[in-house]
Amino acid sequence: MQFEPPLEEGRLLRRYKRFLADIETASGELLTIHCPNTGSMLNCMSEGARVWFSRSNDPKRKLPGTWEIGETPHGRLAVINTGRANALVEEALRAGLIAELNGFTSLKREVPYGQERSRIDFRLDYPTGAAFVEVKSVTLGFADSRVAAFPDARTERGSKHLRELAALAREGIRAVQLYCVNLTDIDAVRPAEEIDPAYAAALREAVSAGVEVLAYGAAISAQGVQLMKRLDVRL
């Protein structure tokens, strides 16, 4: 995924009301931009840290830009815009970069399914049947550790998705939880049991039911983001 034009750099002054961030650009311009991240952004930001944003010239927009990438307190880069995760995964799927999911004949997004009225991020159809793939964007990292964690806040929705995947797996349908690790310098991902023990338990139950769990890490820069390599999953 390439950013056209490349992102602009600035410094974070503050994030507030969840969806707003005040920044100072490299030229000294003060802007309020959109923060497209519904999570807690734990360990993802600190005042004065570098940020990279896309600028919009759309006169209908209330804010002039969108926060895309941030420098974490530990010196990593994180993709702040969680809306990028599914597009990034779709690009990787179509390019054959996720080896475990290669060979599909069709790809559909946001397909309704399940007893709890969910929508799956991707339904992939193969000659042998369908695979249902749920994507989660991971940005929670820790000092002196190359293991990222999910979630960064309690998520009943995330647990619901795992229950839905587990129900599919029990019926013999291929079900996949894919962690898109949008954080640099990471080797593995784990459930953040200290934040949401219910999610961690749901993940282990889903694996016991036959759900596949994959994690892929991204290369991140102001020019673009690309999924690069398979990461370990530590349950």
pLDDT in tens, 71-120: 999 999 999 999 999 999 999 999 999 999 999 999 999 999 999 999 99
Amino acid at 19: F
Residue pair 101/168 in contact (Cβ under 8 Å)? The answer is no
Domain ranges of the chain: 8-79, 84-233
Task: Read off the pTM.
Answer: 0.95
The SS3 assignment for 165 reads helix
Helical pair 197-209 and 156-170, crossing angle rounded to 10 deg: 10
- What's the token pair of residue 16? 């507030």
Give the residues of the chain that fall short of pLDDT 70.
none
* Residue 212, pLDDT score: 98
* Residue 164, Ramachandran bin (φ over 0: left; ψ between -120 and 50: alpha; else beta): alpha
Q: Exposed e or buried b for every residue in 127-147, given b needs 16+ CB within 10 A?
A: eeebbbbbbbbbbbbeeeeee
Instruction: Give the whole-angstrom CA distance, residue 131 versus residue 224.
Output: 28
Could you please state the CATH topology (level 3) that the domain comprising 84-233 is classified under.
Answer: Trna Endonuclease; Chain: A, domain 1 (3.40.1350)
Of the chain, the end-to-end C-alpha distance in Å amounts to 30
Inter-CA distances, 33 with 13, 20, 52, 189, 212, Å: 11, 6, 11, 30, 37
Count of other CB atoms within 10 angstroms of residue 166: 21
pLDDT in tens, 166-180: 999 999 999 999 999
Q: What share of the chain is helix, strand, coil (3-state, %, to 5)?
A: 20, 45, 40
Instruction: Give the whole-angstrom CA distance, residue 108 versus residue 13.
Output: 40
Could you please state the CATH topology (level 3) that the domain comprising 8-79 is classified under.
Answer: OB fold (Dihydrolipoamide Acetyltransferase, E2P) (2.40.50)
* Residue 59, pLDDT score: 84
* Residue 197, pLDDT score: 98
